[in-house]
Amino acid sequence: AQKVTQAQTEISVVEKEDVTLDCVYETRDTTYYLFWYKQPPSGELVFLIRRNSFDEQNEISGRYSWNFQKSTSSFNFTITASQVVDSAVYFCALIGYGGSQGNLIFGKGTKLSVKP
Amino acid sequence: DAGITQSPRHKVTETGTPVTLRCHQTENHRYMYWYRQDPGHGLRLIHYSYGVKDTDKGEVSDGYSVSRSKTEDFLLTLESATSSQTSVYFCAISADADNSPLHFGNGTRLTVT
């Protein structure tokens, strides 16, 4: 069975702090895809990144970076120099290659609050 | 932004009444999905579609039905709404099976009294 665990339910930081959101996954598939989504207070869900299981290179996009480690089944998300606009719920998700679309599994989300 | 429109955005209805939520896309994507979002549960898949008239059940399909008569429209129907179906409903689309990310609509907040 596939599973995504976001152990941090809520995180609160002060602006300009760095913060890491943890995502640990379980899957028996050798090929799979991992995603991060952002849900700001306005409620929409915004796609942030997709990573396939064969690409373990870390990725950086501005203040955002992602650390994918197959050895620990983790796909962690770091925000550097956090800003108030980063306040949101962040979801990690997983799907196995060739799996039914019903197999896209979301974690329960981490609520990040960035205070000025 | 992906062209996804959900209607209505908000709805209040009474227990036992039928409710239909609509999702309309302008991206011509093959796959469409209905999720519900509840506190403590994250996002859970209700039904999805992999083509016109091709649908399948998700994790929490009981009490819901769907229809897709055109590529651009995916309807979610609650045949007889119950209070446990009070939730925020999101429609999503994707271009292919597993490689493409989902793009979500803005959600429909449904309250069943």
Contact B56 A100 (CB under 8 A): yes
Q: How far is A70 from chain B (nearest CA, A)?
A: 18
- Of the candidates B58, B88, B103, which has its C-beta nearest A102's C-beta? B58
- Which 8-state DSSP code applies to residue A116? -
Across A37-51, A61-75, B95-109, least confident range: B95-109
pLDDT value at residue B60:
93
Q: How far is B63 from chain A (nearest CA, A)?
A: 17
- Which residue, A101, A58, A27, A96, is CA-closest to B29? A101
Calpha distance B96→B108 (Å, rounded): 24
- Rounded mean pLDDT of chain B? 93
pLDDT value at residue A99:
56
pLDDT value at residue B65:
97
Q: How many CB pairs under 8 A join A and B?
A: 59
pLDDT value at residue A2:
84
pLDDT value at residue B32:
93
Q: How far is A12 from chain B (nearest CA, A)?
A: 18
**Mutation target among B43, B61, B88 for the A interface, most CBs of A within 10 A:** B43
pLDDT value at residue A20:
98
**pLDDT tens digits along A50-87:** 998 888 888 888 999 999 999 999 999 999 999 999 99
Calpha distance A12→A53 (Å, rounded): 30
Across A10-19, A24-33, A95-104, B37-46, the highest mean pLDDT is recorded for: A10-19
Contact B104 A98 (CB under 8 A): no
- In one letter, which amino acid is A13? V
With bands split at pLDDT 50, 70 and 90, how would you rate the model's confidence at A103?
low
**pLDDT tens digits along B4-59:** 999 999 999 999 999 999 999 999 999 999 999 998 888 999 999 999 999 999 88
Calpha distance B30→A88 (Å, rounded): 29
**Mutation target among B61, B98, B108 for the A interface, most CBs of A within 10 A:** B98
Positive or negative torsion for Cα A19, A10, A27, A48: negative
**Residues in Cβ contact with B89 at an 8 Å cutoff, skipping those fewer than 6 apart:** B6, B21, B34, B35, B36, B37, B46, B76, B107, B108, B109, B110
With bands split at pLDDT 50, 70 and 90, how would you rate the model's confidence at A22?
very high
With bands split at pLDDT 50, 70 and 90, how would you rate the model's confidence at A100?
low
Chain B contacts of A96, Cβ < 8 Å? Answer: 98
Contact B42 A98 (CB under 8 A): no
Calpha distance B36→B87 (Å, rounded): 6
Could you tell me if A57 and A75 are in contact, meaning their C-beta atoms sit under 8 angstroms apart? no
Q: Does B106 touch chain A (CB under 8 A)?
A: yes
